[in-house]
Structure 1
Amino acid sequence: MTTFLKSLIFLQDSCLAFLSLMFHRGSSEDAAEALKKLEASINGARISIDTTWTREFRSLFIVPLFKCLVAFCLIISLLVFIEGIYMNLVVLYVKVFERKPEKVYRWEPMQEDIELGHETYPMVLVQIPMYNEKEVLQLSIGAACRLIWPLDRLIVQVLDDSTDQTIKELVNTECAKWESKGVNIKCERRDNRNGYKAGALKEGMKHNYVKLCNYVVIFDADFQPEPDYLQHSVPFLVHNPEVALVQARWRFMNANKCLMTRMQEMSLNYHFMAEQESGSTRHAFFSFNGTAGVWRMAAMEEAGGWHDRTTVEDMDLAVRAGLLGWKFVFLNDLTVLDFIPTY
Structure 2
Amino acid sequence: MEQLSTTTLLPDAFQGARGDISMQFQLLWDQIKAPLIVPLLRVAVFVCLIMSLMLFVERVYMGIIIVLVKLFGRKPEKRYKWEPIKDDVELGNSSYPMVLVQIPMYNEREVYQLSIGAACGLSWPSDRIIIQVLDDSTDPTIKDMVELECQRWASKGINIKYEIRDNRNGYKAGL
Q: TM-score, normalised by structure 2?
A: 0.48
Higher strand share: 1
Q: TM-score, normalised by structure 1?
A: 0.25
User: Radius of gyration: which is bigger?
Assistant: 2
Higher helix share: 2
